[in-house]
A and B are shown apart, each in its own frame.
Chain A
């Protein structure tokens, strides 16, 4: 197959390696080294996309990352499909399948182009002014139509199977941009041996000269997309998108780099000229045409008109002329263009028309001719335009660098280096004086002159927005959507600003710039997630006895990061039956429970007791060695934050337990106070959650189960005490505590020994008819005893007194966290919600947790709730339902009938003491 617009020779493509690809189902051939855009141009295809709003036919405007028009979908399969890719950056590989977007039925004939006909009705912000009647029609009628019409490409429909890699790096010098300025900066720094990273978003850059330096890491296909405080930068490296067979390699890699010094060599971007019909396929930036010729050996047209206000377009004209294009005219906006490039053009015999412009173009799917300001119509198949160059200051601006306006050259440039950051080359504004033009080309006679090509923002839209009072450039941007397309205004922002400034009658710099935001070019979402998917999305924490529980048929629940055994159903039991059996067994014989997930903090030091005095409501000074106490921790606002048993092992050593999910929060609170409020205290905190496995042995047979395996501890130890010794031969901290109301022990052993100890105890437990029980039975058992679970029976608004735990407050202590707040008027008022038991009148009916508690059976909508049900279970022990809740003034309402909301109506219940079982506590002693 021929490539009619490919030059005979030249370019950096590999002509020995033809590459077959397809676009919209049609087969083409390009060469290795082509981009999709250059290969299509070589085949004479300019029409590559449709615009967002008016569905106007569009060709390629640029040759790089700034491309607004040529957006395509590239799909390897249904899952590995990527919309909105810039054809100018899609590297060709054998078999590449690309399709155009946002058109129906085809790119050449798109019904959406009706919008173009209706364009006068669809000016900037039209949708704010209509679609309001009748009420509700926006959501039901208009919006669905608009949503359907909007959007660009199609998202993939299947989960992305590709992998994304992540790397953190430090370097002495990070260089963004591998053009001449970037490579020069690397060459200057390289001999010093500094660690250098140089990144460029092109597939190849002139890294050959750097190849000899082991201290220089060259990253092609890598975009520096974000600049964060303290010289922290994000880089996106594309690894496989250019390969015909990516294999199982990661598709992209996220680099997170902390750089001592950053050099930005991000170059400059050429600006289009704003004139009527400047968006037809075949009209492109002059520099882009030159790139297609020099890099890819492609002529963008055979009969070319150049429209410029900048000398660099002359060089492009000469190059195309020499390569065989006919450059029919150069129209220059300036009165007397001069300089060496102009002279070279004249030498080549190309006609130059000073003080000339284009005021209209013709051609439907490709430019056919242009109309000049002088009324001349010139036939052509390509127009090269140049309004000058804009330094790419995005990253500098993201780094909070201040920009200054260069009046003469009409661009913003960095005000100067920042600590650890400098700009080099064109990015710094170091561009040769070559002219330029901003704003609308004078002499226009109507017809749409586009500023933002992708979002279809015309010069008249910007002028109209200003006239409608949108005077801030941020308003203009948001009202017209200029600069908000996928190119983020790389080619449009300066013209938009100039047009707004002119309309406002203000100097351009006083209108200001919109904020440059991360990322420089769009970055794949999956890249940020990296390996954090599936199991690795969040680490799974497994208790030391997890495997045993799994083998025993446990069903698990997520509690924070932990997987906890919820119950151990046997032989076809459902959850309910399993829990009932486990509860009965614990009450009648005993149960073993893996309580290892409870948080544990070792609090050590001469001031440990004093520290706990300040962090917990309770008094710790007089707690005897070897004894335990239930501790309550409050927030500064006086509300219960966490609870747990605290044991004093020695005078200066406490073993503090916390709730499972509260552990990090409690340790953080402790550290926070220790480091910022009480630095004078000699205390050291160590999380020991994962060091100690905890096997709870609960039930009347608990002591009997332990006895054969404990020799050096007297098991007659009192309730709420702790002993150190050996259990099953393993060093242990043995607690006598109970969260079930039964005689109970908690065996703390090193996590690595947990299975061994469990096996021994389990074998013994089986002899006594005991069972393993899970968190659900634990919940029921504790509820029967009225023990609270922080986070379920409390919600961050509950005081100790609300819970009936006023006894846990060391009132004689001078201070503790939350003490002052407890005295606030709202925290001591009589009708605070108080923790009570709730017994449904129908004993079978289990209330719903979260049900609202109301005084009447049929509450009016909007009526006040007395409180809510915090916990509710079917109690096998009591053979009825039990519930706990918070009710306003609840302790004074014993015996009162209240009503609990359900999905349909209410059910009556009686307020009761929150202890349903063994109120005297006799069973604690077995």
Chain B
């Protein structure tokens, strides 16, 4: 059923009993053209674009738990494309452009809201870094502008721009097209779209092994719901990618860390944009529901536990209370963690692996949500054609051998 105001009215008259299931409850078939492991946003988007743009719908998306239950539903939903390196800019901008029409594309309101993402500069070094990004973005055709502390305050009145604070705000880089979206809706919208195009989404189906022919290429997967044959397998399993890839004998340059986030109790609107600060380690926005959505840092130690340490979120709240002193009296409602898979250069790996037929899309670290549509789109291209899309061509696994890194963290972080 097509979603629209009309369908809402019609169903309301029918007591809302007429809504069909948003996706089919599929049982695994013995064989598919392509098996995607991981029904998060990236995996579901991959399936959707495979079916929609490449005409391949004999696909299974296998999910250990429930779809969208990993980092897709655990992040702080920030979307932006003002990355430094040309490779990243192109990939994230590709995603941003897809975000702009995604609700219409999926006929599912993913609530993409370009409310502006502001990245604060507190030191001379921050200013230099921000200016470098702005120059690079301008050349790349990506909106990113420098604003003064007063302009930042006008854009986000909650901000403390007093000059005598510990880390005064010297200015900010603002991407107006950046913003947020509703994370669950992204997973559900892609699931609904993919399912309608014939994709089987199989939940509660954990992959326990990857089968390979004597000549090395993949032949299928073993799962808790039986064996499934496929000659092409795409692993899109975020924090657990390295575990899955090990089943095919591939050692991934990934480390998995807990990353925390939290929300406050809902209040009436007090903040319309997203504010991020690398120097004081905090970012915050306000959801449509009214909750302040606050991101914390990763734990210092690797772990598969979806909870983080108290002092990590506490440190984030130090910074939040300092940047936004009026929220100090508000209260934390819910705190949670996700497992992020981090590569040595903090950029993703999207493409082939040494094992024929085995493809991987991982390493999105702490910032994969924003890339969801673009990531799925280029990975679908890669799976369908056996060759990377031009936007993911640089994001190879091989770059860690060749040294052709795309190091966003290095470029953004270290001070002199």
Inter-chain contacts of B416 with A (CB < 8 A): 559, 659-662, 789-792
Interface residues of A, dominant DSSP: loop
Contact residue among B66, B131, B267, B314 (Cβ-Cβ distance under 8 Å from A83): B267
**Which among B135, B319, B404 is the interface contact of A868 at CB below 8 angstroms?**
B135
B286-329 residues at the A interface, CB under 8 angstroms: 286, 288-290, 305-307, 309-310, 313-314, 317-322, 325-329
B414 x A791 contact (CB < 8 A): yes
| Bound CA span A540–B15, Å | 63
Contact A143 B325 (CB under 8 A): no
Instruction: Tell whether, in the assembled complex, residue B140 and residue A862 are in contact, meaning their CB atoms are under 8 Å apart.
Output: yes
A83 and B335 in contact (CB under 8 A), knowing A120-B16, A152-B266, A474-B66? no
Contact of A132 among B107, B115, B124 (CB under 8 A): B107
Instruction: Assess the B267–A901 pair: CB atoms within 8 A.
Output: no
Chain B residues 129-160 with CB under 8 Å of chain A are 129-136, 138-141, 160
In the complex, chain A residues 424-480 whose Cβ is within 8 Å of any chain B Cβ: 460, 464, 467-472, 474-475, 478-479
Q: Please name 5 further chain A to chain B contacts, defined as beta carbons within 8 Å, in addition to the given A84-B266, A524-B329, sorted by A numbering.
A: A132-B3, A139-B114, A150-B288, A517-B335, A662-B416
**Chain B residues within 8 Å of A637, by CB:** 344-345, 403, 405
Contacts of A532 in B (CB 8 A): 318, 322
Instruction: State the CA gap A156–B290 with chains docked (Å).
Output: 14
Check A522 against B331 for contact (C-beta < 8 Å): yes
Instruction: Tell me the complex Cα distance, A910–B233, Å.
Output: 51
Residue contact B410 to A139, C-beta cutoff 8 Å: no
Tell me whether B224 is interfacial, beta carbon within 8 Å.
Answer: no
CA distance A865 to B165 in the complex (A): 37
Subset of 5 A-B contacts with CB under 8 Å: A138-B113, A154-B267, A228-B309, A824-B403, A851-B135
Interface string of B383-411 (1 = CB under 8 A from A): 00000000000000001011111010111
A139, A159, A474: the one contacting B113 at CB < 8 Å is A139
What per-residue 1/0 map shows which CB atoms of A648-672 lie under 8 Å from chain B? 0000000000011110010000000
Please give the distance in Å from B226's CB to the nearest CB on chain A.
20
The residue of chain A having its C-beta at the shortest distance from the C-beta of B4 within the complex is A130
Q: Which of B123, B132, B184, B402 contacts A478 (CB 8 A)?
A: B184
Give B35-72 as 1s and 0s: 1 = Cβ < 8 Å from A's Cβ atoms: 00000000000000000000000000000011111000
Which of B136, B322, B411 contacts A796, CB < 8 Å? B411
Q: Does chain B have a CB within 8 A of A528?
A: yes
Residue among A52, A537, A566 with max Cβ neighbours from chain B (10 Å): A537
Within 8 A of B (CB), among A820-859: 821, 824-827, 848-852, 854, 859
- The answer on a CB contact under 8 Å between B4 and A861 is no
Docked-complex contact B73 and A533, CB < 8 angstroms? no
B62 to chain A, nearest CB (A): 15
Note all chain B residues with C-beta closer than 8 A to A132. 3-4, 103-104, 107-109
Q: Which residue of A lies closest to B101 (CB)?
A: A135
Interface contact B269-A524, CB-CB below 8 Å: no
Is A523 an interface residue when CB atoms closer than 8 A count as contact? yes
Q: Is B415 an interface residue (CB 8 A)?
A: yes
Q: Choose, from B18-26, B206-214, B237-245, B366-374, the stretch at the interface.
A: B18-26
User: Of A130, A486, A659, A662, which contacts B5 at CB under 8 A?
Assistant: A130
Asked if A852 contacts B289 (CB within 8 A), the reply is no
Chain B nearest CB, measured from A901 CB (Å)? 5
Judged by a CB distance under 8 angstroms, whether B12 is at the interface is yes
Q: Known: A526-B328, A528-B332, A532-B318. Is A228-B86 also a contact (CB below 8 A)?
A: no
Contact between chains at A478 and B166 (CB < 8 Å): no
Report A-chain residues with C-beta under 8 Å of the C-beta of B188: 128, 479
A518 at the interface (CB under 8 A from B): yes
List the B side residues contacting A826 at CB < 8 Å. 399, 402-405
Q: Contact partner of A130 among B3, B100, B322, CB < 8 A?
A: B3
Task: Kindly provide the distance from the CB of B385 to the nearest chain A CB, expressed in whole angstroms.
Answer: 23
Report yes or no: A83 in contact with B265, Cβ–Cβ below 8 A: yes
B227 contacts A by Cβ under 8 Å: no
**B270 contacts the other chain (Cβ, under 8 Å)?**
yes
CA distance A557 to B123 in the complex (A): 7
Residues of chain B contacted by A486 (CB below 8 angstroms): 265-266, 333
Instruction: Tell me how far the C-beta of B211 lies from the nearest C-beta in chain A, rounded to whole angstroms.
Output: 28
B-contacting residues, A120-171, CB 8 Å: 120-121, 123, 126-133, 135, 138-139, 143, 146-148, 150-160, 162
Report whether B109 and A131 are in contact in the complex, using a CB–CB cutoff of 8 Å. yes
Residue of B nearest to A564 (CB): B124
Cβ–Cβ contact A155 & B327, under 8 A: yes
A538 touches B329 (CB 8 A): no
CA A84 to CA B319, docked complex, whole Å: 23
* A155→B165 contact, CB < 8 A: no
Say how far B307's CB is from chain A's closest CB, in angstroms.
7
Q: How far is the CA of A311 from the CA of B267 in the complex (A)?
A: 39
- Cα–Cα distance between A467 and B402 once the two chains are bound (Å): 51
Kindly list chain A residues whose C-beta atoms are within 8 Å of the C-beta of B13. 120
Contact of A861 with B403 in the complex, beta carbons under 8 Å: no
Nearest CB of chain A from residue B138's CB, rounded to whole Å: 7
A positions within 8 Å CB-CB of B: 52, 80-84, 120-121, 123, 126-133, 135, 138-139, 143, 146-148, 150-160, 162, 226, 228-229, 232, 234, 256, 398, 460, 464, 467-472, 474-475, 478-479, 481, 484, 486, 488, 515, 517-519, 522-526, 528-530, 532-535, 537-538, 540, 557-560, 566, 637-639, 659-662, 665, 789-792, 795-797, 821, 824-827, 848-852, 854, 859, 861-865, 868, 901, 903
Contact A468 B22 (CB under 8 A): yes
Residues of B within 8 A of A (CB): 3-5, 7-9, 11-13, 15-17, 19-25, 65-69, 73, 86, 100-101, 103-104, 107-109, 111-115, 122-125, 128-136, 138-141, 160, 165-167, 179, 182, 184-185, 188-189, 203, 264-270, 280, 286, 288-290, 305-307, 309-310, 313-314, 317-322, 325-336, 344-345, 399, 401-405, 407, 409-411, 413-416
Decide: A852 and B329 in contact? CB cutoff 8 A.
no
Check B22–A901 contact: CB distance below 8 A.
no
A-B pairs with lowest CB-CB distance, top 5: A796-B410, A850-B132, A151-B290, A791-B416, A824-B403
Contact of B334 with A256 in the complex, beta carbons under 8 Å:
no
How far does the Cβ of A596 sit from chain B's closest Cβ, in whole Å?
A: 16
* CA gap between A850 and B144 in the complex, in Å: 14
Complex CA distance for A213 and B90, rounded to whole angstroms: 68
Which listed residue, A154, A519, A526, A852, touches B135 by the CB 8 Å rule? A852
> CA–CA, A806 to B17, complex, Å?
73
CA distance A850 to B137 in the complex (A): 11
Contact B132 A868 (CB under 8 A): yes
In the complex, A761→B307 CA distance in Å? 56
Flag if A479 contacts B184 (CB, 8 Å).
Answer: yes
Give the complex CA separation of A680 and B402 in angstroms: 32
**Residues in B whose Cβ lies below 8 Å from that of A135:** 100-101, 103-104
| A488–B184 CB distance below 8 A | no
A537-B326 in contact (CB<8A): no
Chain A hits for B109, CB < 8 A: 127-132, 138
Contact assessment for A865 and B86 in the assembled complex, using a CB-CB cutoff below 8 Å = yes
A234, B131: Cβ atoms under 8 Å? no
Query: A537 and B123: CB pair below 8 A?
Result: no
- Neighbouring A residues of B403 by C-beta, 8 Å: 637-638, 821, 824-827
Does the CB pair B330–A525 fall under 8 Å? yes
Residues on A with C-beta less than 8 A from B16 are: 120, 123, 460, 464
The smallest C-beta distance from B191 to any residue of chain A, in angstroms, reads 9
Report which of B141, B203, B332 forms a contact with A525, defined as CB distance below 8 A: B332
B21 touches A533 (CB 8 A): no
**Known A143-B113, A472-B69, A825-B402: A529·B289 in contact at CB below 8 Å:** no
Residues of B within 8 Å of A138, CB to CB, are 103, 109, 111-113
The listed residue (A133, A139, A861, A864) touching B115 by CB distance below 8 A is: A139
CA distance A530 to B167 in the complex (A): 18
Considering only CB atoms, which chain A residue lies closest to B272 in the complex?
Answer: A147
Q: State whether B167 touches A796 (Cβ < 8 A).
A: no
Whole-angstrom CA separation of A854 from B167 in the bound complex = 34
Contact A863 B139 (CB under 8 A): yes
In angstroms, Cα B247 to Cα A751, docked, is 57
Judge whether A538 and B333 touch: CB under 8 Å.
no
